[in-house]
Structure 1
C-alpha cells in the first residue's frame, strides 16, 4: 500500500464552455456567474465549478484510479465539502481509515486558468480543518511508500506534524516522495522555507519538481536517489544518484487546463515504480535508462489525459495504456 499524506480541499475552477452549456440544460452547481437577484446580474464574475482538489488528494485519487492500493492520511472537515471529498476517495477505492475529521471548514482554492491552460490559485485557508492535522501512530507494516507535498508542508500547525511523519517513516526505511508544488503566496518567509526544504532532502527517496519550483528554490537539489523535473509542454526528465539522466517528450494533447497534472505525475511515477518493484532507494539506484524512459513515458501520458479535461480528473490505467 502507498500512503498519500496532505491536504484535501475544494478547487473552484472556471467552467469551460461545455460546462456552461451543460448547466444551461439543467446541470447547475456553479458559484458566481450572471445570476440575478436584488443586485442584478454580475457579468464580470466568472462561473466557478467546485471540484475536489489539493495536491495530495489528487495524487491519492490518481493512484486509486490506476489500480494501486492507496490510503489517504489527512484531516478533513465534517462539512458538506468534506463529505464530498471522502466520497471521491472512496469512489477511487482509496482507503480513508487514516483520515482525521474536524468541524472546521474545508480549505477553498480559487483557480484561474491562463490562455495556455496553466493554472494559478488563491487560497482561503485560515482556520480550516486540514491545518490541524496531528501526527498519527506508526503507519501499517504493509505501507511501501509515503508521498507528501504542497500546502500541507507550509501551513502550521499541521506542517510540523506532516514533517514529523516524513522523518519518522523515512527513518524506518519507507520509500518517500515529495512534491513541494510551491505556492509562493502561502509562504510568509521564503528563506526559512528554503532552509526547511533543504532539511527534508536526506529523508527523501524521490523528489518531483516542476521547473517553476526549481527556479523558486534556486535550482535542482541533490540528495534524493532520484529527482524528476517536469517541464510542461517540453516533457519530463530524471537525474539519479547513480548517474542516469533521461528525458522524454510530453504526450500530444489539446490542453483544457493543467489543474492536477503534476499530481497525476506523482501517482504515475509511484504506480509504475511499484510495477517494477522499485519502491526502495536501492531499487531506484539499479534502474537503467530504459526503465526510466518507460516510467517517465507512462507519467507523461497520464498527465496528458488529465490536461485534456477540466479540473483535476486523473485517468484510469486503461486510459493510459
Structure 2
C-alpha cells in the first residue's frame, strides 16, 4: 500500500463468532447444538465491509495463535484488506459464543482471558499505522481493556494532535466484558471503562454510538436520545451518528439541528455486524467525497452528508439480510440503490 493514498486504518480486536446453526438442531437430547465459526470482531467487521466497498483499508490487529487464526487472516485477505497491519502474536484468539433472540439480536458469551487483542504496545502500533492514514477508527473491547487500551489512547491523542487524520470512535460496549466478574478479570470496571472512553471521545472527530451503548454508558439519558445525540456532538466531535436498531438514525453536528433518517426496511436474518457495516459505509462515502480533514468534515453541507449516511444505512441493512457479519460489495450496494 503506497503512502500517498487516503487509507482507512481500523484498529481493534479479532473475534471468532460461534453462531448457532438452527437447522442442524441440538442433537437427540438437546445438548449438542451445532455452531459455525465465523470471523468477527468490531475492527475486522469494519475493515472487511470497507474492503468489499473498495476502500483502501488496513486492519491493525494482533493475530493470535491457534487454528482459528488462519480463517481470520484469509477472511480479511479475500475482502481486499491490506494485511501489513496484522501483527503475529503468541497469545490466543478471542472467541465469542453467540445466541440469537427472536428478533435476530445477538447475545454473547466471551472467552477472551489473556487474548492477543488486549496486549498492544506503543512500538507495535507505530510499526503498523500507515503514513497515508486519512481516517483512524478505534473502538470496542480493545479500546477500553488494559493493558493495550493505554497504547491505543496515546496513539489517538497523537493522531488528533497532529491533525493528520480524522479519528473515529465507536464504544461498542459489551457489558459482560466491561463490568462484573468477567470484566474484573480483564481489568475492567464500569468506572474505568467510562473514563477510558471519555479520553478517546474527547479526541474524536466522528462518533458512532448505539442506543444500547448509551443505556449502559449513561442510563439516565435513555429516554432522551435526541438531546443525548446533540450533547455528545457538543463534547467535541464534528459528527455523531446514533443508531437505534430499526428506529430512525440520529445525526448530530455542533451548532446544527438534529437530523433523522429512516433506515431501509429489509427482512432481517440477524443484526450481527450491522453497526460495523454502517461505519464502513460512512467511511467509504467520506473518502469518496474527499473528506479527510476535520475542516472538510465541519464544512460538509447536510445535503452532501445525508446521501452518504443513507448509503451507510443501506450497507447495514443489506448486511442484516444475511447470517452473521456478511456486508455487501460495492456492486451489491449499487444494485440495491437502483
TM-score, length basis structure 2: 0.85
- Runs (4 or more) in structure 1 with deviation over 6 Å come to none
Distance (whole Å) between structure 2 residues aligned to residue 90 and residue 295 of structure 1: 26
1:152 match: secondary structure: helix
1:104 match: secondary structure: strand
Question: Who is 1:185 aligned against?
Answer: 176
Summarize deviations over 1:193-220 as a string: whole Å, max 9, x none. 2222222222101000011112222143
Distance (whole Å) between structure 1 residues aligned to residue 296 and residue 101 of structure 2: 39
Q: Does 1:206 align with 2:210?
A: no
Aligned residues of 1:237 and 1:296 also touching (Cα < 8 A): no
Compared with structure 1, are the counterparts of its residues 114 and 137 closer, same or farther at alpha carbon in structure 2 (3 Å cutoff)? same
Q: Does 1:248 align with 2:254?
A: no
Aligned residues of 1:178 and 1:208 also touching (Cα < 8 A): yes
Distance (whole Å) between structure 2 residues aligned to residue 164 and residue 16 of structure 1: 43
Distance (whole Å) between structure 2 residues aligned to residue 288 and residue 79 of structure 1: 48
Question: Who is 1:151 aligned against?
Answer: 141
1:73 CA displacement: 0.6
Count the aligned residue pairs.
302
Q: CA RMSD in A?
A: 1.6
Q: Which runs of 5+ in 1 are unaligned?
A: 21-31, 35-40
Q: Does 1:5 align with 2:14?
A: no
Summarize deviations over 1:105-155 as a string: whole Å, max 9, x none. 211011111101111211100111222222322633211110011111122
1:162 CA displacement: 1.8
Report matched runs for 1:137-148 at 5 Å: 137=126, 139-148=129-138
Report matched runs for 1:75-224 at 5 Å: 75-135=62-122, 136-137=125-126, 139-173=129-163, 174-188=165-179, 189-218=189-218, 219=221, 220=228, 221=232, 222-224=235-237
More helix as a share of residues: 2
Compared with structure 1, are the counterparts of its residues 312 and 154 closer, same or farther at alpha carbon in structure 2 (3 Å cutoff)? same
TM-score, length basis structure 1: 0.90
Question: Who is 1:266 aligned against?
Answer: 279
Greater shift in the superposed pair: 212-221 or 69-78? 212-221
1:256 match: secondary structure: coil
